[in-house]
């Protein structure tokens, strides 16, 4: 069963994840990463070659210099492959992880050529940890830290137990040190990688969370702007529409009593039905555009929803075509604005009734296990997974005669009260809307 959770603001995902907001953004960032890798390795390789050429006079292209050139060539080749992958749209998390591990291996090779564990190039291993944290968050930083420690430990094993594998053109004194020095450099590097990796991952996660909050704030600002426009439109048109609409409905009701042909009666019924739908649209627009002051007070949710269910049973399709079943505790108290919660419950139940086929059933339940949850379940055709993320947007509807405003009102009220909304649905198996109010409060009389 598909589940869509609506209330929490989305985080801005780290680069390289499948949940990236757009393929175009991922491709651009992956290409920027490939250019940065090429520049870093070219700079580091040039610096190492320059240093080796000044310490190895007359040796020309020595073993170490050739090794460095091979490292740079491998880095450039992988950067070119990375560029091609990004152009082809094949940007995946595993690809970025593989490139980061390769970078750690290449940086460790530079460390091996420039003095082993005492080399100043060990800081390059920390750079990769920072990049891993920025691109993939804490998991990326941890992978880079583990890879760096493995490669650094291999260098230590070569220096201590396989000195015949050391670069033949480098002096032995460069790799010789006492036991205390070896322990110092090894422990210091481990601590440096752990600190840099974990700190960069933590900061990257915080930045992603902050970016998500900024994106949510921008979305709320856009929503408020749309509400302001809709409010002005609704206020200007509501009375202009309702006055002639009432006149039309009254005239058709009188006309229906005087007509004799069944065909004419059916036409009158169509006019009445469409007039009611138009009146519902005006009501939804007014409810969505109004931002009433929230008046919080202790509220018996069980009794309030009971009243709404009874109203639904006596109106519209709930009176004839769709059965409503309500299961509730004797009472459950929450802190909320009663009029707004009644509007939210009415819209959820009305939406379920409209989504149900004739002879179907709508089940309304209040659960109080850990938190207070209002559950509205129908037996309709269900909601397509692609549509679930848009359900609470204004004017979005999956029904041919829907207004697309009722659930938008639900979302606005839920946001104002801090109510978490979830939608569970599967094609041809109905839909379930869950409104989580949080923990219940004590009965107000118990505090006296």
Q: Enumerate the domain spans of the chain.
A: 9-216, 221-289, 297-447
Fold of 221-289: Helix Hairpins (1.10.287)
Cβ atoms of 382 and 3 closer than 8 Å: no
Q: How many helices (H) and strands (E) does the chain have?
A: 10, 8
Q: What pLDDT is recorded for position 448? A: 44
Q: What pLDDT is recorded for position 326? A: 92
The pLDDT tens digits for 116-162 are 888 888 888 888 888 888 878 888 889 989 999 999 899 888 888 88
Cβ atoms of 121 and 94 closer than 8 Å: no
Burial of 330 (0-12, 13-18, 19+ CB in 10 A): exposed
At residue 378, the 3 state secondary structure works out as: coil
The pLDDT tens digits for 252-286 are 777 777 777 777 777 877 777 777 767 766 766 66
Q: What is the arrangement of strands in the sheet containing 2-5, beginning at the earlier edge strand?
A: 2-5, 420-425, 431-438, 372-377, 361-367, 323-327
Helix (H) or strand (E) holding 403: none
Q: What pLDDT is recorded for position 3? A: 47
User: Nearest to residue 276, comparing CAs of 317, 330, 325?
Assistant: 317
Q: What pLDDT is recorded for position 16? A: 40
Q: What pLDDT is recorded for position 56? A: 60
Which segments of the chain have a pLDDT < 70? 1-26, 56-60, 88-92, 224, 227-228, 230-240, 242-243, 277, 280-281, 283-293, 318-319, 388-390, 394-404, 444-448
Q: What pLDDT is recorded for position 59? A: 53
pTM assigned to the model: 0.49
> How far is 255 from 264, CA to CA, in rounded Å?
9
Give the right CATH number for 297-447 from 3.30.565.10, 3.10.330.20, 3.30.230.10, 3.40.50.720. Answer: 3.30.565.10
Burial 217-239 (b: 16+ CB within 10 A, else e): eeeeeebeebbeebbeebeeeee
Instruction: List the structure tokens of 402.
Output: 């829907």
At residue 259, the 3 state secondary structure works out as: coil
DSSP letter for 447, please. Answer: G
Instruction: List the structure tokens of 299.
Output: 């509220």
Cα torsion 75, 76, 79, 85 to 10°: value is -120
């Amino acid at each position: 069963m598909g589940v869509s959770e609506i209330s929490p603001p989305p985080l801005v995902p780290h680069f390289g994840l499948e949940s990236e907001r757009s393929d175009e953004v991922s491709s651009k960032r992956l290409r920027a990463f490939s250019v940065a890798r090429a520049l870093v390795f070219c700079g580091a390789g040039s610096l190492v070659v320059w240093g080796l050429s000044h310490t190895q006079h007359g040796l020309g292209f020595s073993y170490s210099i050739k090794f460095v050139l091979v490292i740079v060539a491998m880095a450039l080749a992988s950067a070119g492959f990375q560029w091609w992958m990004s152009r082809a749209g094949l940007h995946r998390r595993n690809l970025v992880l593989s490139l980061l591990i390769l970078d750690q291996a290449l940086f460790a090779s530079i460390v091996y050529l420039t003095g082993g564990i005492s080399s100043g190039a060990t800081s390059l291993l920390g750079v990769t940890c920072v990049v891993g944290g920025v691109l993939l968050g804490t998991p990326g930083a941890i992978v880079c830290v583990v890879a760096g420690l493995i490669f650094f430990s291999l260098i230590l094993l070569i220096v201590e137990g396989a000195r015949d594998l050391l670069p033949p053109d480098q002096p032995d004194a460069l790799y010789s040190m006492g036991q205390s020095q070896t322990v110092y450099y090894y422990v210091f590097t481990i601590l440096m990688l752990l600190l840099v990796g974990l700190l960069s991952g933590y900061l990257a996660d915080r930045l992603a969370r902050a970016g998500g909050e900024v994106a949510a704030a921008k979305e709320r600002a856009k929503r408020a702007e749309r509400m302001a426009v809709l409010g002005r439109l609704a206020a200007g048109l509501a009375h202009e529409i309702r006055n002639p609409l009432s006149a039309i409905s009254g005239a058709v009701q009188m006309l229906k009593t005087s007509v004799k042909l069944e065909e004419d009666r059916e036409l009158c019924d169509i006019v009445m039905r469409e007039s009611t739908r138009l009146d519902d649209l005006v009501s939804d627009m007014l409810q969505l555009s109004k931002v009433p002051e929230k008046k919080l007070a202790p509220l018996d949710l069980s009794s309030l929803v009971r009243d709404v269910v009874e109203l639904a049973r006596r109106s519209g399709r709930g009176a004839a075509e769709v059965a409503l079943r309500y299961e509730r505790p004797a009472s459950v108290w929450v802190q909320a604005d009663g009029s707004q919660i009644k509007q939210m419950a009415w819209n959820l139940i009305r939406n379920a009734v409209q989504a149900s086929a004739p002879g179907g059933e709508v089940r309304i339940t209040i659960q109080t296990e850990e938190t207070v949850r209002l559950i509205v379940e129908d037996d309709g055709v269900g909601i397509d997974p692609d549509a679930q993320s848009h359900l609470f947007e204004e004017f979005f509807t999956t029904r041919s005669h829907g207004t697309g405003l009722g659930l938008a009102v639900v979302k606005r009220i839920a946001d104002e009260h801090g109510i978490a909304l979830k939608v569970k649905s599967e094609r041809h198996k109905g839909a379930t809307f869950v409104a989580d109010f949080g923990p219940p409060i004590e009965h107000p009389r118990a505090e006296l």
